[in-house]
Amino acid sequence: MLETLVETLAIVLDGSRLLYMLLGISIGLTIGLLPGLSGTVGMSILLPFVYGMDPYAGMALLIGMVAVVHTGDTFPSVLLGIPGSSGSQATIMDGYPLAKKGQAARALGAAFFSSMIGGVIGGVILFSIIPIVRPVILSLGSPELFMLALLGLSMVGILAGKSPFIGILAGLFGMMLGVIGSAPSVPEYRYTFDWLYLYDGIPLPLVALGLFAFPVLIDLLVGKKSISESSALSGKWFEGVKDTVKHRWLVLRSSILGAVAGFIPGLGGSVVDWLSYGTAKQTSKNNETFGEGDIRGVIAPESSNNAKEGGSLIPTLMFGIPGSGTTAILLGGLLLMGVEAGPRMVTEELSLTMSIIWTLVIANIIGAAACLILTRPISRFSLISPSKLVPFLTIILIVGAYQTSQHWGDLLLFVLLGIIGWIMVQLDWPRAPILIGFVLALAAERYLWISVSRFDWEWVYRPGVLIIAGIIILIFGSSYWISKIGALKGAKAKGGNV
Amino acid sequence: MEKSKKLIGVSLLSVMVLAACGEDSAQEAGAGDGEDFYDENDLEMIVPTSPGGGSDIQARFMAPFLSEHVPGSPDVQVVNIAGGGTITGSNEFALMREPDGESSLWGSISTTTAYLLDEEGVEYDYDNFTPVLGYPDGGVVYVSESTGIEGPEEILEAEEELVYGGTSATGLPLTILLSFEVLGLDVDGIFGYESSGPARVAFEQGETNVDFQTTSSYVSNVEPMVEDGDALPMYTIGQIDEDGELVRDPQFPDLPTVKEVYMDIYGEEPSGEAWEAYKAFVGAVFTVQKVLWVHDDIPEEALNELVEGAETMVEDEEYQQEGEEVMGYEPFVGQEIQEMMPRLLDLPEGTEDWVKQFLNENYDLEQ
């Protein structure tokens, strides 16, 4: 396998393929930069062009694009508090406060550097897991997948912060939004009000944009202040890099979490940033500064969202089951180039798989380097006065919302969800639980349904199920315990650490 | 600074690429001599699924060839209108597009099933469409080695309960369920899998032990299992020939059809309502599965040119060679498919009701 890996590097670095990769990277960065556009959009744009290309060049283009979307999407998350794609929402929690303090460059430096490391680790995991991938995937039956969905939902407790009750309510509200549309196992439609637009459910990008981007627009207009409260950009990106090195274990942990979450088909890939943020908050010392501009709150989600791409390619390439919209189109792209995903990807097509790993690693490095260079000029955005910025943003956001299904319903829902998001911001209610509930609702329902109709209730005693249940109880227990201790500590050292 | 300027340049370039892709990529100046209809007009191909699925890939593969072969070389633009299990895009084509020869619909199995079962939200009517080109699909039903079944003739003698997993009883699995009914096979149906990919993984996990995959997926994912002895093919879905008989799938000439398996077991030809329903659905959703539809009242010269283009396209050697993997089967074109479709879509009297009742009784579905 190692031999093939080395041989493939020469294929990947061949002139024209390298150019395709660079083109892919620049498109990926641009798509990440524009709020509302995700890797899925990038894929659909590039798909028509890969027909007739040789698979190595085509994959260089597609993977180069996907690899860096979650690098470029950090700019709007940090600078504007608007998610650049649905994978970088958690970055807002601490990245945006840092930008407000004038430390945008530091936050971006940390984000890009940890994205780079995360992406590379994702590639390494993809490589090292190849020999054991079948038994691992095959051990995850529907009952285990249901428990994993529950594990994801248990994050709601952590992300709810000071108000667990409201957090759980928000999570339930998210689940309600998630069940709109066709039911997973019977041909029935729920809460669609006979409106065909709702038959497929609410698109995820709309929920993300509405909850997180719309309130920012209003605040910018009302506040009439530029995002950075101090007029000078004091932080340097190199400081961020140093921060990342200082928290290297956090980077490693978050990257592994990201790759694993991406690897589990049909689950969590789109909320991996939140899972990682929640876990980081949960397991870090002095975590009371999270949410107020803690650099660790930037490093954790950014490491994991790039690592996720490596993980999510595993079920896609080796089983032909896409874990997300992006990988679904990637499968189509492969087919257009005459390659069918499946077990053969690690036997006859091994060198293609290796080239994908190389592309992932190289693209992550180039993409992060490009972003680091662009940090200074782009950081100035946070100094622009809102009256100049808002019209531009409004147009981008509306276009971004409208492209999700190109139906006027997109705009209506964007505004509706936006108003809900804005009210929640005013009341200081956590919004992340809505998103987690929304994403995991259908997965939880689907796998519970299948588990019960296949095994009645005997699935409860499966070892995998019991292990995951233990982890969930641990998380709940520790979050209760930590909040108790935190409250005690907080009372003692009031306002000590900022 | 020099470097960042360059990079900004690159990003600007990619923005331009993005912008260019949003519109018709190459607007040809309509400077033709006016002889061909498509000198002046372009063709939109509506795909009612999101990009990347099997039928979207076929449409995208076909588009440049169609553009080359239709007289007047129109731009052929693939437009994805996803939603409602292909209903949204099909409705949009039927209701919102003028019959001016500038739009077409690439319908798939879900489009036809929803139409035949008259599902909620269907507002299109095949009676108002004309087919230009159609492609069959097929597939194989296979069982796990754990069932102890050693050949199709033993399918009734499994050592363990047979469990089949699929998406939803009214989707693609419907025809498969009907085949179980024909054979008198007692199978526990588990539904809710996201698509046939995860259903296949459930088979590999042992969560189910009977599965069906369409031809391309069977060849790439199941044949390795068969070689390893983990899976055993039982029968193909088959095709309906001109006389309405079920015949072997040309992609799997060595595998029997349901009819042959039935005759092996029972010693007589299958008959009855389940058999009629099975044949009707095989014909309507497999024998011609993907269809390029246009409105039936488009200008006559437009239809003629499209048919002519499709006919020369399928003769194109490059198209045949490169399309082998994407398309799988031999297409039906023009006159041939225009005669076939009404026959295949005309369910026998009472079949629709029988199928609805069958679903209701066995799978608790109020249709």
Chain A contact for B100, CB < 8 A? no
In the predicted structure, residue A224 carries a pLDDT above the cut 80: no
pLDDT for B2: 43
What the block records as the tokens of B98 is 């003028």
For residue A129, list its beta bridge partners: none
pLDDT for B27: 39
Give the CATH number of domain B30-136+288-345.
Answer: 3.40.190.150
Nearest to A328 among B52, B207, B326 (CB): B52
Q: Which of A195-204, A254-263, B117-126, B306-315 has the lowest mean pLDDT?
A: A195-204
Measured CA to CA in angstroms, residue B137 lies from A295, A358, B173, B193, B195 at distances of 54, 36, 14, 21, 17
Measured CA to CA in angstroms, residue B197 lies from A100, A143, A399, B217, B224 at distances of 46, 18, 33, 9, 15
In the predicted structure, residue A343 carries a pLDDT above the cut 60: yes
- Rounded to 5 degrees, φ, ψ at B120 are -55, 135
Q: How far apart are CA A333 and CA B242, in angstroms?
A: 36
Chain A contact for B120, CB < 8 A? yes
Chain A contact for B34, CB < 8 A? no
DSSP one-letter code for B45? E
**For tokens 């689907």, what's the residue?**
A446
Q: Which of A470-484, B76-90, B208-222 has the lowest mean pLDDT?
A: A470-484
What average pLDDT score do residues A156-180 get? 85
Give the DSSP letter string of B153-214: GGGGG-SS-EEEEES-TTSTHHHHHHHHHHHT--EEEEE--SSHHHHHHHHHHTS-SEEEEE
Q: What is the distance in angstroms between the Cα of B300 and the nearest Cα belonging to chain A? A: 30
pLDDT, tens digit, for every residue of B134-173?
999 999 999 999 999 999 999 999 999 999 999 888 888 9
What average pLDDT score do residues B279-285 get? 94
Q: State the burial class of residue A323 (Cβ atoms within 10 Å of its Cβ: 0-12, 13-18, 19+).
A: buried
Residues of B in contact with A196 (CB under 8 A): 83-84, 87-88, 91, 121
Q: How confident is the model at residue A3 (pLDDT cuts 50, 70, 90)?
A: confident
Residues of A in contact with B198 (CB under 8 A): 265-266, 321
Residue B358 has a CB neighbour count (10 Å cut-off) of: 20
In the predicted structure, residue A498 carries a pLDDT above the cut 70: no
In the predicted structure, residue B53 carries a pLDDT above the cut 70: yes
Is there a shared CATH topology between the B30-136+288-345 domain and the B139-285 domain?
yes
Residues of B in contact with A48 (CB under 8 A): 21, 60, 78
In the predicted structure, residue B9 carries a pLDDT above the cut 60: no
pLDDT, tens digit, for every residue of A68-82?
998 988 998 888 888
Q: Which of A424-428, B13-17, B136-140 has the lowest mean pLDDT?
A: B13-17
- Chain B, residues 160-189, CB within 8 A of chain A, namely 163, 165, 168-171
B86 residue type, one letter: T
In the predicted structure, residue B347 carries a pLDDT above the cut 70: yes
Contacts of B295 (CB under 8 A, 6+ apart): B97, B99, B103, B128, B129, B130
pLDDT for B85: 79
Higher pLDDT, A348 or B248: B248
What average pLDDT score do residues A362-379 get? 90
Q: Does A200 sit within 8 Å of B83, measured CB to CB?
A: yes
pLDDT for A131: 83
In the predicted structure, residue A417 carries a pLDDT above the cut 80: yes
Residues of B in contact with A338 (CB under 8 A): 322, 325
Report the DSSP pairing between strands B139-144 and B210-214.
antiparallel
pLDDT for B22: 43
Q: How far apart are CA A310 and CA A302, in angstroms?
A: 14
Closest B-chain CA to A322: B197
Distance of CA B299 to the CA centre of its chain: 27
Higher pLDDT, A148 or B275: B275
Q: Are A187 and B119 in contact (CB under 8 A)?
A: yes
Helix (H, G, I), strand (E, B) or coil at B285: helix
Closest B-chain CA to A373: B4
Residue B346 has a CB neighbour count (10 Å cut-off) of: 12
- Chain B, residues 242-281, CB within 8 A of chain A, namely none
In the predicted structure, residue A280 carries a pLDDT above the cut 70: yes
Q: How far apart are CA A389 and CA A374, in angstroms?
A: 19
Q: How far apart are CA B103 and CA B98, in angstroms?
A: 8
Q: What percent of chain B has pLDDT over 90?
A: 63
- Chain B, residues 68-87, CB within 8 A of chain A, namely 78, 80-85, 87
pLDDT for B31: 39
**Mutation site, A179, A314, A321, interface B, largest B CB count within 10 A:** A321
pLDDT, tens digit, for every residue of A386-396?
777 788 888 88
Domain residues of chain B, as ranges?
A: 30-136+288-345, 139-285
Q: How far apart are CA A215 and CA A212, in angstroms?
A: 6
In the predicted structure, residue B179 carries a pLDDT above the cut 60: yes
Contacts of A399 (CB under 8 A, 6+ apart): A36
Contacts of B224 (CB under 8 A, 6+ apart): A342, A343, A344
pLDDT, tens digit, for every residue of A109-148?
999 999 999 999 999 998 888 888 878 888 888 999 899 8
pLDDT for B46: 95
Chain A contact for B194, CB < 8 A? yes
Q: Mean pLDDT across chain A, nearest whole number?
A: 85
pLDDT for A218: 86
Residue B20 has a CB neighbour count (10 Å cut-off) of: 12
**For tokens 């709109």, what's the residue?**
A180
Q: How confident is the model at residue A175 (pLDDT cuts 50, 70, 90)?
A: very high
**Mutation site, A22, A27, A375, interface B, largest B CB count within 10 A:** A27
Highest mean pLDDT (candidates A128-137, A344-353, B206-215): B206-215
Q: How far apart are CA A29 and CA A236, in angstroms?
A: 21
**For tokens 């019977």, what's the residue?**
A186
In the predicted structure, residue A481 carries a pLDDT above the cut 80: no
For residue B190, list its beta bridge partners: B165
Q: Does B119 sit within 8 Å of A26, measured CB to CB?
A: no
What average pLDDT score do residues B321-329 get? 86
Q: How confident is the model at residue A443 (pLDDT cuts 50, 70, 90)?
A: confident
Nearest to B52 among A332, A374, A405 (CB): A332
Q: How confident is the model at residue A329 (pLDDT cuts 50, 70, 90)?
A: confident
- What is the pTM (predicted TM-score) of this model? 0.82
Q: What is the distance in angstroms between the Cα of B264 and the nearest Cα belonging to chain A? A: 31
Q: Does A454 sit within 8 Å of B60, measured CB to CB?
A: no
In the predicted structure, residue A186 carries a pLDDT above the cut 80: no
In the predicted structure, residue A97 carries a pLDDT above the cut 70: yes
B56 residue type, one letter: D
Q: What is the distance in angstroms between the Cα of B245 and the nearest Cα belonging to chain A? A: 31
Closest CA to A200 of A222, A217, A184, A224: A184
Q: Which of A416-430, B43-57, B120-134 has the lowest mean pLDDT?
A: B43-57
What average pLDDT score do residues A427-437 get? 88
What average pLDDT score do residues A330-347 get? 81
**Residue environment code for B252-287, b if the CB has 16+ CB neighbours within 10 A, otherwise e:** beebbbbbbbbeebeeeebeebbbbbbbbbbbbbbb
Dihedral class, residue B151 (left if φ above 0, else alpha if ψ from -120 to 50, else beta)? beta
CA angle B12, B16, B18 (to 5 degrees): 115
Report the topology of domain B139-285.
D-Maltodextrin-Binding Protein; domain 2 (3.40.190)
Q: In chain B, at which residue ranges do the beta strands (DSSP E only) sit?
A: 43-47, 76-80, 103-107, 129-135, 139-144, 162-166, 187-191, 210-214, 231-236, 239-240, 246-247, 290-295, 332-333
pLDDT for A227: 66
pLDDT for A491: 59
What the block records as the tokens of A15 is 């002139």
